[in-house]
Structure 1
Amino acid sequence: MNTAIKPAQSVELAAHELEAEYFEYSKAANPISANLISRIPYHCFPSSLYDSGPSRLLPLDLSESLGCEGPATGPGLCANFIRLNANDTLTLAPNATSQVLYVIDGNGSLSYGDQTFDWTKGCFIALPGMHHTELKASSDARFYYVHDEPLLRYLGVKVTEDRFNATLYPADVANAKLREAAADPRAQDRSRISILLGNRNFPQTRTVTHVLWAMYGILPAGSIQKPHRHQSIALDFIIDCPEGCYTLVGTELDSNGQIRNPTRVDWTPGLAFVTPPGYWHAHFNESDTEAYLIPIQDAGLQTHLRSLDIRFS
């Protein structure tokens, strides 16, 4: 429904006035509450989407629900699964400023511009977007892959420069840093046991790129990460977990600081799911074994805009 204020009488408009509209404030200031723009939906993407078959890129596309041009998993980000069978190659060429890959399984090599390096299971890779990326697998490989092409598409812009170099975070180094964080005597008193991937080009935001934020975390056996929220979308990937791990998500807290009428997301290894911005969420591990997860968010951009607003119950 178009609620634009109509002219009192029919007038002849010049060509440069044809697209102008005017809205009474209360009918336009909150398009989400007015159902003029859709909320970001909850959604889960199982590992069965990529655990067999030919080499391929699988966008986790929610653009129809979002009412935007796709593929897109959120208004500014697109998450993907990649399956790359042994000896196959795949070219990545989004119009993006920021890309992050996590190697779920396999090993091989990567070329970006004049940079070439090898990757193995458990590595993280951060890439800018001026050049195409070529992935080559030496063994059957799978990736979790997030980039910001939907943001650039919305803005109507093209990448004009790389803000950082292609960067490898080797699995052994990332795992050692995570174990170091877990071994800290104060770890159990913190809101979570995790590390954030950073890049020396972004000292203010301390994020993996200027747009993306990537966390590598442990959910210890028998633990609860209490309800928290932030204004960045979270594209969560479960690396590994036992039965009994899950997330509760909802819009409000009750008087005890617990999520009211939550939606439950049960974890399975290789699962990806969307946590909408501004929603309270809490993670639970009711087993006797650790679980591992990777949330990737647009929190680099939100931090730069001073709008991330992380809160805990």
Structure 2
Amino acid sequence: MNREFDPALTDINQVDAEYFEYSKAANPISANLISRIPYHSFPASLYDSGPSRVVPLDLSDALGCEGPATGPGLCANFMRLNRGDTLTLQPNATSQVFYVIAGEGSVVQGEYEIQWSKGCFIALPGLQQAHFSAREDARLYYVHDEPLLRYLGVTPRADRFAPTLYPAALANAKLREAADDPRAQDRSRISILLGNRHFPQTRTVTHVLWAMYGILPAGSVQKPHRHQSIALDFIIDCPTGCYSLVGTELGADGQIRNPQRVDWSPGLAFVTPPGYWHAHFNESDSEAFLIPIQDAGLQTYLRALDIRFS
């Protein structure tokens, strides 16, 4: 179609256009144009009593984004579901991962029904409502990717996987198998990654999320490591004397310079920002158990995870 030149239309189409000299725009974090992901801890007291509810672990003010959001692309939550109650969830998300901290009940999503109990992991897609009900007082840790979809301005068009249960007994057996391997002490960590057969390239629990179930043995140290995915860490159980050190740089000795210390406690959730070095310590005589949930499914698919060890 031929159109005559219209200066007024040209002006309208250029209203939003901007131009920046490269050095002033290429690194918006260093230029303080966008905030870093903050360190933050969320105690178990947020969900240990009271009515049935979802408690978003919201850092959106610090992130300068629409909330709730715990990171730019993920939102972690605590769920409390009292006996006989029901909660209906339908975030604008492609991926939802749950860990059952305590209690038992069921979840119905479309034609699927899953029975869950303490120690189970559940992965749900986001297209349909999920109806959770409890047979006894329950608490869950819950992460979804609604902030990512909100930023992109999109809604899910199709589910990429079916509702999937990882039973506690089987997950615990697989973790113990990894711990009992004679070569376990030579590895960077003792853990298992939850996978789904639909994602053979990333070997992650969903196409966006990664979920790790790990042991920190008594008297052990997980040496400094880093990755470009945000880690939303949940401490299942731990004795006194467990903690993480987090920082931006390593010294010549391979240890983290000027680290931030995060002392662990059962039921604690905390944020490890992407790209930061972090190390985990257990100075007690008992094992500790943790779950990092990350956007590493997406980062791995983008070939951008860049996990490194000191």
TM-score (normalised: structure 2): 0.97
TM-superposed CA distance for 1:297, in Å, is 0.1
- Measured in 2, the distance between the counterparts of 1:185 and 1:113 equals 44
In structure 1, the residue matched to 2:262 is 265
Q: What pairs up with 1:184-223 in 2 under 5 angstroms?
A: 184-223=181-220
How many Å apart are 1:39 and its aligned residue? 0.2
The yes-or-no answer on 1:161 pairing with 2:158 is: yes
Aligned to 2:308: 311
Indicate whether 1:86 and 2:83 are aligned: yes
The AA in structure 1 aligned to 2:163 is A
What amino acid sits opposite 2:55 in the alignment?
A: L
For 1:138, the aligned partner's letter is: R
Distance, in Å, in 2 between the alignment partners of 1:240 and 1:99 is 22
Corresponding residue for 2:3? Answer: none
Equivalent position of 1:134 in the other structure: 131
Letter in 2 for 1:249: V
Structure 1 residue 117 displacement after superposition: 1.8
The partner residue of 1:48 within 33, 45, 49 is 45
Secondary structure (helix, strand or coil) at the match of 2:136 reads coil
Partners in 2 of 1:127 and 1:102 — Cα distance?
A: 12
Per the alignment, residue 177 of structure 1 pairs with 174
Aligned equivalents of 2:103 and 2:27: distance in 1? Answer: 46
Counterpart for residue 121 of structure 2 = 124
Deviation per CA, 1:157-212, whole angstroms, max 9, x where unpaired?
00110000000000000000000000100000000000000000000000000000
TM superposition shift of 1:55: 0.4
Query: Residue type of the partner of 1:310?
Result: I
Which residues in structure 2 correspond to 1:223-242 (within 5 Å)?
223-242=220-239
Q: Secondary structure at the match of 2:133?
A: strand
C-alpha RMSD of the superposition: 0.8
2:54 aligned counterpart, secondary structure: strand
CA distance in 2, matches of 1:218, 1:291: 6
User: Identity of aligned pairs, percent?
Assistant: 79
Q: How does 1:13-32 map to 2 (within 5 A)?
A: 14-32=11-29
> Which residue of structure 2 lines up, in the alignment, with residue 296 of structure 1?
293
Q: Which runs of 5+ in 2 are unaligned?
A: 1-6
Q: State the alpha-carbon separation in 2 of the partners of residues 109 and 275 from structure 1.
A: 31
Q: Which residue of 2 aligns with 1:6?
A: none
Task: Select which of 140, 143, 156 maps to 1:143.
Answer: 140
Structure 1, gaps ≥5 residues long = 1-10
Q: Which runs of 4+ in 1 moved over 4 A?
A: none
Task: State the 1:224 CA deviation.
Answer: 0.1
* 1:245 lines up with 2:242 in the alignment: yes
The structural deviation recorded for 1:240 is 0.0
CA displacement, residues 125-184 of structure 1 (integer Å, 9 cap, x when unaligned): 001111000000000000000000000000000011000000000000000000000010
Q: Distance in 2 between matches of 1:112 and 1:180?
A: 32
1:101 and 2:112 equivalent? no
Q: Aligned partner of 1:223: which letter?
A: S
- Partner Cα separation in structure 1 for residue 11 and residue 124 of structure 2: 46
How far the C-alpha of 1:14 sits from its partner, in A, is 1.5
Aligned counterpart for 1:287 among listed residues 284, 287, 298: 284
SS at match of 1:175: helix
Partner Cα distance (1:254, 1:14) in 2: 53
One-letter amino acid of the structure 2 residue matched with residue 82 of structure 1 = M
Letter in 2 for 1:43: H
Secondary structure of 1:153's counterpart equals: helix
The 2-side partners of 1:256 and 1:81 are apart by: 38
In structure 1, distance between residues paired with 2:43 and 2:218: 23
Q: Which residue of 2 aligns with 1:7?
A: none
- What's the CA shift for 1:116? 0.6
State the distance in 1 between where 2:68 and 2:32 align. 22
What SS class does the counterpart of residue 140 from structure 1 fall into? strand
